[in-house]
Amino acid sequence: MKKLVVLTGSGISAESGLKTFREMGGLWEEYDVMEVASPEAWEANMELVLRFYNERRKQLLQAEPNPGHLGLSDLEKHFDVDIITQNVDDLHERAGSTKILHLHGELKKVRSTVDPNLIYELDGWELKAGDKCEKGFQLRPHIVWFGEPVPAIEKAVEIVQQADFFAVIGTSLVVYPAAGLIHYVPSSVPIYVIDPNPVQTPYHKNIEFIQQKAGVGVGLLKEKLLARLNK
């Protein structure tokens, strides 16, 4: 099967009721990113950081995959689909997608503050001060904070270089290194960008914009891809 590689951002989860980051009413309007999503914030005010992610987990437990997520999972009938997501929610998994690489971590996981290899599934939504790893150290959200490296980026580049088709869904493409992945898409490979708002993209001679919300846009993407397959 042809390989479809998809880079997703918070926009694909907007129709599930989860806020995006930089839009009007987005998370970074409500919170100062450096006070809740950086190693410095954790040192300065661990309780505030814990509360921020506990709140987001509570919201995630109320959310369900939407037609955007479900459409990508359905595309596995026709394509070898790899999803590279900046999202920390588990809506792609819950929609039934089978190959998902999280670049920025996962909200439902926590990890040790001394050994990043000690990663645990969190039961429920609440991580508290005093919750410890097996080595007796505080647990932190398993999230890539601003200023921290993105361990999965090399794997992501490898996947992107094998794409026959590439799609970008629901991301403003302003956060690196994720936004830089588009540079690794071979020039002959068609790129589809799904977003209801205009998105600045680096030059690529084969980009098509589907200016729609993901719930509709993924359906249109399927039509376009199947038309190409049957050509």
For position 75 contacting ligand APR by CB under 6 A, the verdict is no
Q: Which two tokens stand for residue 17?
A: 């009721």
Single out the segment in contact with ligand APR by CB under 6 A; choices: 15-23, 125-133, 203-211, 220-228: 15-23
- Cα–Cα distance for residue pair 213/210, rounded to 1 Å: 9
- Letters for 22-61 (x = contact with ligand APR by CB under 6 A, - = none) are xx--x-----------------------------------
Residue nearest ligand APR (C-beta atom): 11
| 138 Ramachandran zone, left/alpha/beta (phi>0; psi -120 to 50) | beta
Between the alpha carbon of residue 112 and those of residues 103, 137, 141, 176, the distances in Å are 18, 6, 9, 25
The residue among 216, 108, 18, 24 whose CA lies nearest residue 100 is: 108
For position 86 contacting ligand APR by CB under 6 A, the verdict is yes
Structural contact between residues 38 and 147, judged by C-beta atoms closer than 8 angstroms: yes
Give the residue with the Cβ less far from ligand APR, 100 or 133. 100
Catalytic position from the list 92, 102, 104, 142: 104
Give the residue with the Cβ less far from ligand APR, 110 or 213. 213
DSSP 8-state assignment for residue 16: G
104 is catalytic: yes
For position 138 contacting ligand APR by CB under 6 A, the verdict is no
CB atoms within 10 A of CB 19: 16
Size of the residue set binding ligand APR (CB under 6 A): 25
Please list the active-site residues: 104
User: Site residues (CB under 6 A) for ligand APR?
Assistant: 9-12, 14-15, 20-23, 26, 86, 104, 170-172, 174-175, 194-197, 199, 213-214
